[in-house]
Amino acid sequence: MTKIDTSRPETVLPTPSHTVGPFYGHALPFPGGGEVAPAGHPDTIALHGYVYDGNGDPVPDALVELWGPDPDGEVPRVDGSMRRDPATGGFLGRNGVEFTGFGRIATDANGHWSARTLRPGARGRGAPHLSVCVFARGLLVHLFTRIYLPDDQAALAADPLLSRLDEERRGTLVAGDRGNGTYRFDIRLQGEGETVFLEFR
């Protein structure tokens, strides 16, 4: 969008930039958004972490979306991440049986997020990973990244994306193993230790 200076018709001025939002926090989060794994599933893993800004401060109003394949590496094709009551329009929650592979989690006042999903299986030549999209204040365009699990070092070394990064940058995409199927993955939007973000063309 441009502004035209009517006093000088030949001059076209850019629209001033501004930060919008985060209005998504009022409509996009839904109860149970991080409970992606069906209840009691044996391949369930727990993920958690923090979203930090360029100063290293937690971002209390970010939104983290996760997409992942099932343990066999298959991308789910079922609906149901957010079911609504057809009569009232109210939220019904997940059905607790099917795995949609999709989660949406708002960070809390401390910038913390958490999710329960199924351990992703490998697809093609890539190491098992979850795709991530981050919305946050100050971002006019959301960011894409990945979460790799540290369990298979040979697969990580052979991954086409990870193998193109130096060791320090590669580490920003690999979750830390906290034991008992729990992993920590912090997202740093800028500054020291900035998470590697991807651009899709």
Q: What is the mean pLDDT of the chain?
A: 86
pLDDT tens for each residue of 54-67: 999 999 989 999 99
pLDDT tops 70 at residue 24: no
Q: Which residue has the higher pLDDT, 13 or 194?
A: 194
Q: pLDDT band at 10, cuts 50/70/90?
A: low
pLDDT tops 90 at residue 90: no
pLDDT tops 60 at residue 22: no
Please report, for residues 1, 10, 12, 179, the alpha-carbon distance to residue 7 in angstroms, rounded to integers and kept in the order given: 19, 9, 11, 67
Q: Which residue has the higher pLDDT, 53 or 1?
A: 53
Task: Quote the pTM value.
Answer: 0.83
Q: How many CA atoms lie within 13 A of 137 on its CB side?
A: 12
Q: pLDDT band at 95, cuts 50/70/90?
A: confident
Q: pLDDT band at 2, cuts 50/70/90?
A: very low
What are the residues whose beta carbons fall under 8 Å from the beta carbon of 12, sequence distance 6 or more? Answer: 2, 3, 4, 5
Please report, for residues 13, 14, 16, the alpha-carbon distance to residue 1 in angstroms, rounded to integers and kept in the order given: 10, 7, 10
Q: What is d(CA 52, CA 113) in angstroms, rounded to the nearest whole number?
A: 11
pLDDT (0 to 100) of residue 15: 60
